[in-house]
Structure 1
Amino acid sequence: MEAVTGDRRNIWRGPAMIATMLSGLALAACQSGPAGEISSIDTAQGSSGNISSLSSVIARNPQDPEAYNVRGSAYGRGGKYREALKDFDTAIQLRPDFYQAYANRALIQRSLGDQNAALADYSKALQINSNYDTAYIGRGNLYRKAGRVQEAFNDFQRAIQLDTTDPRAYHNRGLIYQLQGQHAYAIEDFSKAISLAPDAAEPYNGRGLSYLAMKDEDNAFADFNMAIKLDGNIAESWANQALIYERRGDKAKAARSYAQAARLDPNYKPATEGLARTRG
């Protein structure tokens, strides 16, 4: 389970360049080791039918922490954060060393806006299991959001050293390299994230921005176009594409792409300002 929403941070690399810094890929699943009946239940959906099935399992096994962890994950997927929180609390009460439940609860705390509680839960998970890559990635995201860049980098680096297959570790480390102007390293990390999650749009946006910073406009344009192909509902992708059109002097196409970005996010200033520049 990953949080429903991700954090997006926009920075500018000069008056004409949009740099979209996307912090979260919703690509990781709640990791636990369901046993017995639980393993046959699809926890990827937070539907009422699935919740009902999981509740039946808990009724038959009220002392099974795995059951509460799995139902909490389903609640989280369905946006029922308070119910999820209660289930993770119960799972931890039943098994105090249940590090996966701590990490899952941290996601819910983050979604509820309690960053300190989320940070404490990630750290507790890592205290129990210092090789748990998911917790390093989750805590790294919290550190990066708080501006604690070096600590965030260290956590992403540790997850990568543990041979994680979670693309968020590479994507988020790439964002830090990008922020520091180390675009060659950023491109390597975004490319690795793409290899692990080829259907995710965000790494293409990230890599395209680093290509653009290195004056490789053709590869940047290809990446922005691919980001749109994979997910046409991200305003930044359209604004990034529009920027290339604008740099190439095609104001009509630029205006259309900026307009699409503005429709998707009317408060996204690079889109509205770009549209104002090119519409006339």
Structure 2
Amino acid sequence: MILGALTLAGCQSTNQTDDMIRVDRAQGSEENIASLSSVINSNPQDPEGYNVRGSAYGRAGEFSRALADFNRALELNPRFYQAYANRGLVYRNMGKPVEAAADYNAALKLNPNYDVAYIGRGNVYRQAGRIDEAFGDFNRAIQLDTTDGRAFHNRGLIYQLRGQHDKAIDDFSKAISLSPSSPEPYNGRGVSYVALNDDENAFADFNHAIELDGKVAESWANQALIYERRGDKARAAKSYSHALGLDPKYIPAQAGLARTRG
């Protein structure tokens, strides 16, 4: 039961956040947008300006404005495959996977070697349960010698789902080497270590994920489960409680706290 809960904890938030836009309100500050708008005003026929500002709006959570900028960029240059992929990511954040997949397909039709679009489309497929197609897209990005750690991380999640934990660990390790400041692959690798009964390495990974970003509920719940496996219910309950303080709806933490409280 604990391993099942840990697997859920290790995969749930990464399924939701990996390749998603991390909202950064500073990107949408008046000063930043004004600067980007000034560039556009000085050359209103340059699609790149709209693409850059659209990305800034997206990171700020201003999705409608982001879409407007990407639409304008594509009006000016219908072959702007990067803008298609960027718009696809915004659609995915908006919960519109059909539109997202269509944009990734459009990007790949224009540039069949665009690794970013394979990664983005692979995530759309993975979230839709189309695992084999997702695996194919992540593989293709890796075959193109991508330096984007998300391709390895996401393929690692599929290996993990298939019970191929040695291969998953290799992929998470590669993702870590490419994106050392991201907590997600540490959580992913930790889950596979637990599946192989290597709690020591798992605990180290979960703790490092917390060091990188202490605001991720998944990391605290994973740490708690190691405490629970060790029989230390007091520390487990404390970490589960911390996870719930970050995300009161996080089911693995709710279930873990119920098991260890008292």
Q: TM-score if structure 1 supplies the norm length?
A: 0.86
Matched, 1:137 2:119: yes
- Among 104, 112, 131, the residue aligned to 1:149: 131
Residues 178-231 of structure 1: CA distance to partner in whole angstroms, max 9, x if unpaired?
000000000000000111111111111100000000111111111111111111
Note closer, same or farther for the CA distance 1:79–1:107 as it changes in structure 2 (3 Å cut). same
Q: TM-score if structure 2 supplies the norm length?
A: 0.92
Note closer, same or farther for the CA distance 1:89–1:99 as it changes in structure 2 (3 Å cut). same
Q: Distance in 1 between matches of 2:171 and 2:66?
A: 33
Matched, 1:221 2:203: yes
Note closer, same or farther for the CA distance 1:17–1:142 as it changes in structure 2 (3 Å cut). closer
Partner of 1:184: 166
- The 3-state SS of whatever aligns with 1:45 is helix
Matched, 1:25 2:18: yes
- The 3-state SS of whatever aligns with 1:20 is helix
C-alpha deviation, 1:273, in angstroms? 2.0
Q: Distance in 1 between matches of 2:8 and 2:117?
A: 31
* Native 8 Å contact 1:75 1:81 kept in 2: yes
Instruction: Between 171-180 and 48-57, report the one with greater CA deviation.
Output: 48-57
Note closer, same or farther for the CA distance 1:13–1:149 as it changes in structure 2 (3 Å cut). farther
C-alpha deviation, 1:110, in angstroms? 1.5
Partner of 2:70: 88
Structure 1 residues 64-143: aligned runs within 5 Å: 64-143=46-125
Matched, 1:49 2:31: yes
Structure 1 residues 167-246: aligned runs within 5 Å: 167-246=149-228
Residues 53-107 of structure 1: CA distance to partner in whole angstroms, max 9, x if unpaired?
2222222212111111112112212221111111111111111111001111111
- Give the aligned residue type for 2:44: P
* Native 8 Å contact 1:170 1:192 kept in 2: yes
Computed over aligned residues only, the root mean square deviation of the Cα atoms, in angstroms, reads: 2.0
Give the number of the structure whose residues are more often helix, by fraction.
2
Q: How many residues align?
A: 256
Note closer, same or farther for the CA distance 1:169–1:28 as it changes in structure 2 (3 Å cut). farther
Note closer, same or farther for the CA distance 1:84–1:17 as it changes in structure 2 (3 Å cut). closer
Instruction: Between 47-56 and 101-110, report the one with greater CA deviation.
Output: 47-56
Note closer, same or farther for the CA distance 1:20–1:12 as it changes in structure 2 (3 Å cut). farther
C-alpha deviation, 1:17, in angstroms? 6.1
Q: Distance in 2 between matches of 1:56 and 1:16?
A: 49
Structure 2: tracts of 5 or more residues without a match: none
C-alpha deviation, 1:45, in angstroms? 2.6
- Give the aligned residue type for 1:104: N
Which structure would you say has the larger RCO, counting Cα contacts within 8 Å and 6 or more residues apart?
A: 2
Q: Give percent identity, aligned residues only.
A: 66
Note closer, same or farther for the CA distance 1:202–1:65 as it changes in structure 2 (3 Å cut). same
* Native 8 Å contact 2:20 2:92 kept in 1: no
Q: Distance in 2 between matches of 1:207 and 1:149?
A: 19
Give runs of ≥4 in structure 1 deviating > 6 Å: none
Instruction: Between 153-162 and 230-239, report the one with greater CA deviation.
Output: 230-239
Structure 1: tracts of 5 or more residues without a match: 1-10, 30-43
Partner of 1:32: none
Note closer, same or farther for the CA distance 1:98–1:209 as it changes in structure 2 (3 Å cut). same
- The 3-state SS of whatever aligns with 2:10 is strand
- Give the aligned residue type for 2:97: Q
